[in-house]
Amino acid sequence: MTASSRPAFHLRLNLDDEAAIGPGKADLLQAIAETGSISGAGRRLRMSYRRAWQLVEALNLDFGGDVVETLAGGKGGGGARLTDRGNRILACYRRIQLSCAKAIASDLTALKKLRTKR
């Protein structure tokens, strides 16, 4: 199977009626951690800076505290990094994602084999 034909799934966790985290928010947190910047993370994900901030603000609200810490600009420039809470949220989501992927791998492959192409 090529990467494009490999079965996949997307995990969205609804924590309650208002709060949720899925691949978009998790990937944004990952990109912020890796780039050290909200705007850099947005560019990496082909997401506007405004949209990236909206997702960060939603995460802050959903999890009752800052998940991303912004760093003041100046000579070295500004930036952003995950707070301890943000790192724990991302790590927990990735563990759940990996556990689910392992649990459904054979069924997902079986389902893919049952698909007929037109």
Sequence ranges of the domains in the chain: 21-114
Tell me the mean pLDDT in the region 11-39.
95
Closest CA to 65 of 94, 37, 88, 42: 88
Q: What is the pLDDT of residue 76?
A: 64
Q: What is the pLDDT of residue 88?
A: 97
Tell me the mean pLDDT in the region 76-82.
84
Q: What is the pLDDT of residue 8?
A: 76
- Give whole-number Cα distances, 5 to 8, 85, 115, in Å: 9, 36, 12
Q: What is the pLDDT of residue 116?
A: 72
More confident residue, 6 or 22: 22
The string of pLDDT tens digits covering residues 81-102 is: 999 999 999 999 999 999 999 9
Q: What is the pLDDT of residue 1?
A: 46
Tell me the mean pLDDT in the region 24-43.
96
Q: Is the pLDDT of residue 51 over 60?
A: yes
Q: List the Cα angle 25/79/63 in 5-degree steps.
A: 35
CATH class of 21-114: mainly alpha
How many Cα atoms occupy the beta-carbon half-sphere of 45 within 13 Å?
A: 26
Strand 13-14 to 20-21 pairing? antiparallel
